[in-house]
Amino acid sequence: MTSRPAFDSALVDLGRLTTWLRTDDTVTVARVGEGHSNLTYAVQVGPQKWVLRRPPAGPLLPTAHDVVREYRVLDLLTRAEQPVRVPKPVSVCEDPAVLGAPFYLMEQVEGVVVRDTLPGWLDEPARRALGLDLAAAFAELHRVDIKPFVAAGLGRPDGYLARQLRRWTGQREGIQAAVAAAGGQARDLPDYDAVRDWLVAHLPAEAEPAVVHGDAKLDNVVVGPGELPVVAAVLDWEMATVGDPRADLGYLLSFWPEPDVEGGSATHPLAQLVTAAAGFPSRDELVATWEQGTGRAAGDLTWFVTLAIWKLAVLLEASYHRYLAGTTDDPFFAGLEHGVPALLAHARETCRG
């Protein structure tokens, strides 16, 4: 993982964290990665290397950034009979008095996160191996027994797609209500309404449920070292639940332009997608690998790709309003003034709604 040398001490108070850890060893903390949702920090306590996850600062949408739930998902996955590539959770703190919000610790997994640039060692054969293994890693997840998750209240075995539509419609309405309560008015997003209506009108029949990640993409995995790179661990489980696994596959494809498509900007207006580079497998190959790994037929994924783009736009619109409120200075959020409408236009183009 690539770490930043500095971190916001208001979000991770080193003294309080050390007290909570009950350690006499030196504790060091550094911000990790480029995530724009829950915040991630590398924590070293003597020889031990952990990762800390906590919510961002500022007003948050209901049900968003629930790191305690994320910890519970990881705990169940590490105990599942079907092996899943996840970091092992270490401990959780639900008391906001410690760091101002709940947080948890997990073991650090060695490797790198591939975001907007390709490491020099990731040549064409390595890119192909990594892409296919990414699809295989999510197929492994989709074979996990859902019963422990349903029993723990971490998902329901039916109605997932309809709940997704209600949830993300509710998130948009929550943004509008929060802005109105502050004396403002949320901006109009006409493509949001058009895509929402198309999704409702074309709601597909649900597949057999599985544990779904909810944010399946290349930069949410750790790429482990080796002669050919593999997915060492899947990260960022805050949206995991039980549902239709094609939603994960659609989300993965929404970030995956065909190889050799220049820049990949037509596939995703907010990202420089490295998978447009030569060597990465095609979308069809990803789907075939997933089908082989799960024993399922994917079918037409247009609805699921559209859902992925639309809900990402809703999520980022909430982040944009946190930026406008001054509760985050992440420069990525400044670009959402035009980025969110571009995403919604792309969603509308995808479904031709």
Q: What does the pLDDT look like over 287-334, one tens digit per residue?
A: 999 999 999 999 999 999 999 999 999 988 988 887 887 777 677 888
78 or 2, higher pLDDT: 78
Taking the whole predicted model, whether its pTM rises above 0.75 is answered as yes
Does residue 257 contact residue 276 with C-beta atoms inside 8 Å?
yes
339 falls within a domain:
yes
Domain of 305, in residue numbers: 124-351
Residue 223: partners with Cβ closer than 8 Å, 6 or more residues away: 111, 112, 113, 114, 130, 229, 230, 231, 232
Residues 23 and 146 occupy one common structural domain: no
What average pLDDT is seen over the chain?
88
Nearest partner of 318 among 102, 116, 69, 58, judged by Cα: 58
The full DSSP string for 264-310 is TTTT-TT---GGGSTTSPPHHHHHHHHHHHHT------HHHHHHHHH
- Least Cα distance to 225 among 139, 114, 135 occurs for 114
Q: Would you call 125 exposed, middle or buried from its count of C-beta atoms within 10 A (0-12, 13-18, 19+)?
A: exposed
Q: What is the CATH number of the domain that holds 76?
A: 3.30.200.20
Same structural domain, 71 and 206: no
Instruction: Classify residue 244: in a domain, yes or no.
Output: yes
Q: Which of 21-25, 30-34, 65-69, 211-215 has the lowest mean pLDDT?
A: 30-34
- In this structure, the answer to whether residues 145 and 90 fall within a common structural domain is no
Residues 33 and 138 grouped into a single domain: no
Q: Based on the domain organization, do 72 and 133 belong to the same domain?
A: no
CATH code, 237: 3.90.1200.10
Q: Read off the amino acid at residue 59.
A: P
Alpha helices in 107-245 (DSSP H): 124-141, 147-151, 160-181, 190-201
pLDDT digits (tens, 9 = 90+) for 21-33: 999 999 999 998 6
Residues 103 and 128 in one domain: no
For 340, the enclosing helix (H) or strand (E) is helix 336-351
Residue 118: inside a domain, yes or no?
Answer: no
End-to-end CA distance of the chain: 40
Residue 312 lies in a domain: yes
Any domain includes 117: no
Domain assignment present for residue 22? The answer is: yes
**Average pLDDT of 226-249?**
93
| Cα 93 to Cα 238: distance, rounded to the nearest angstrom | 16
Domain count, the chain: 2
pLDDT band at 179 (very low <50, low <70, confident <90, very high): confident
Query: Is 114 among the domain residues?
Result: no
Does 86 share its domain with 207?
no
- Give the distance, in angstroms, between the CA of residue 326 and the centroid of all CA atoms in the same chain: 23
Residue at 295 is within a domain: yes
CB atoms within 10 A of CB 265: 16
